[in-house]
């Protein structure tokens, strides 16, 4: 069967700790980027340095009401027991979340694009977006062409990472010319492919979108 969702309520519990196979211990801190503007309600997730403005990143087939919604990230600080603290904390974004309704999640489903079917996935497979610049993001489909200032290592997206010495964020970036926004963050261990899940309330309403960057290991496999 396709890869199942993990316990994302645990991911987004401040102070949650976990131990990696390497022996490193992680402690989770939930950090808020801000409110992402979704003018159309069609959500896109991808590597902003690759996807934003390309016109090639499809939104998820499940849309939400247009509005402004909180984006936060589960940031894990990793330490090695017995070693002195590093001069700079070792931080990794374990997961990023776009909150539509601040309600408990009753069920999870793959966030799919048009033409994708979860039934096409083999055991432990998933649909995800590719990362080639070590970052992920959420934005609205209408915002794709709304960042003319962003090209390569120029513009407000690059500037916010540069200003914070490329710490993983999360960051809410606003285009100075259009007012559109993108919520960006480091992508766990870096480049790869990462799935996004849709959490639904007991009433079946969309509660959130969560991208898992596989920093917190699945207890069932370790």
pLDDT tens-digit series, residues 133-159: 999 999 999 999 888 777 666 788 889
Structure confidence at residue 220 as a pLDDT band (50, 70, 90): very low
Q: Where are the beta strands (DSSP E) in 80-170?
A: 90-99, 107-110, 128-131, 135-140
Global model pTM greater than 0.85: yes
Residue 110 CB-half CA count within 13 A: 21
Beta bridge partners of 27: 17, 77
Q: What is the tens place of the pLDDT at every residue in 147-201?
A: 877 766 678 888 999 999 999 999 999 998 899 999 999 999 999 999 999 999 9
Cα torsion 74, 89, 18, 46: sign: positive
pLDDT at 219 over 60: no
Reply yes or no: is the peptide bond before residue 170 cis, omega within 30 of 0. Answer: yes
Please report where in the chains the tokens 């639904």 appear, as a residue: 200
For 133, residues 6+ apart whose C-beta sits below 8 A from its C-beta are 47, 48, 49, 50, 191
Q: Please enumerate in sequence order all residues whose Cβ is within 8 A of that of 23, keeping only pairs 6 or more positions apart, or say none.
A: 80, 81
Task: Single out the residue of 45, 73, 39, 72 nearest to residue 60, CA to CA.
Answer: 45
What local confidence, expressed as pLDDT, does residue 222 receive? 38
Would you state the structure tokens that stand for residue 201, as one six-digit string?
Answer: 């309330």
**Percent of the chain clearing pLDDT 90 (strictly above):** 74
Cβ-based neighbour number of residue 89 at 10 Å: 11
Q: Per-residue DSSP letters for 9-64?
A: HHHTSTT-EEE-TTS-EEEEEEEEEEEEEESS--EEEE-HHHHTTTS--PPBS---
User: Residue 153 has what pLDDT?
Assistant: 66
């Amino acid at each position: 069967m396709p890869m199942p969702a993990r316990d994302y309520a645990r991911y987004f519990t401040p102070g949650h700790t976990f131990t990696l196979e390497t022996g490193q211990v992680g402690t989770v801190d939930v950090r808020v980027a801000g409110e992402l503007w979704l003018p159309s309600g069609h959500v896109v997730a991808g590597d902003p340095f690759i996807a934003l403005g390309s016109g090639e990143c499809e939104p998820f087939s499940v849309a939400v009401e247009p509005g402004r919604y909180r984006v936060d990230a589960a940031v894990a600080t990793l330490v090695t027991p017995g070693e002195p603290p590093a001069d700079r904390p070792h931080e990794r974004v374990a997961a990023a979340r776009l909150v539509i309704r601040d309600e408990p999640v009753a069920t999870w489903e793959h966030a799919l694009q048009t033409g994708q079917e979860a039934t096409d996935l083999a055991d432990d497979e998933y649909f995800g977006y590719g990362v080639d610049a070590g970052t992920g993001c959420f934005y609205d489909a209408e915002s794709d062409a709304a960042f003319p200032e962003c090209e390569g290592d120029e513009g407000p997206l690059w500037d916010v990472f540069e200003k914070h010495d490329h710490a993983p964020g999360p960051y809410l970036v606003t285009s100075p010319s259009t007012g559109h926004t993108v919520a960006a963050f480091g992508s766990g261990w870096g480049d790869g492919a990462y799935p996004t899940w849709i959490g639904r309330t007991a009433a079946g309403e969309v509660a959130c979108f969560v991208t898992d960057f596989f920093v917190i290991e699945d207890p069932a496999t370790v």
